[in-house]
Amino acid sequence: MIQGEKRKGVSYYFGDLTDYLNIHDVLTDFKPDVIIHLAAQTSVAYSFTHTTEVFNVNFLGVVNIAEAARRVLPKLKRFIFSGSVEAYGIQTKFPTKEDMELRAASPYGVAKIASEKFLKYLNQAYGFPAIIFRNANSYGRQHNHQFVIESMMYQMYNGKSPIKLGDPTPIRDFILSLIYLLYIN
């Protein structure tokens, strides 16, 4: 399911989250104990012009992998889902608390909320072991300068000064959220 550098002793499966049968077959073959679902179409701006694609990947993809896991992996220990702070949308009180009303301000945020609701349903109806965390500004190997971390790194690497940010007002706590996730029982 992961595309990247090949490493010895690691099995690689290539597929499409919108293809339920492929996911079902992969999970039947691989039988993981834990699934960490990080895959998504990640551009909020893109979601305004490609709403159907974003919903297919970010919501239907979650439905497909979670439903296949529920059916194929009865002993699954954890399904960790990467939500997004975009689910909170525009808030008027700070700091943003986990139990605040979700007010998505983009199709991307709506798809993330729908995914969370579906996973909560699976948990309540079937005891599906879903954990949802809402992270901000994930960094990967996409090299996309539209995202804040990549943009800052690119600017620093190229000697830009001062570093320019789009909207510097959001406050994000990168480390604390990760520490909490690691220690969930």
The catalytic residues are 108
d(C-alpha 113, C-alpha 102), whole Å = 8
Sequence-ordered alpha helix ranges (H) in the chain: 20-30, 44-49, 51-55, 61-72, 107-126, 148-157, 174-182
Q: For residue 36, which of 130, 152, 172, 140 has the smallest C-alpha distance?
A: 130
Check: CB of residue 113 under 8 Å from CB of residue 54: no
d(C-alpha 144, C-alpha 43), whole Å = 10
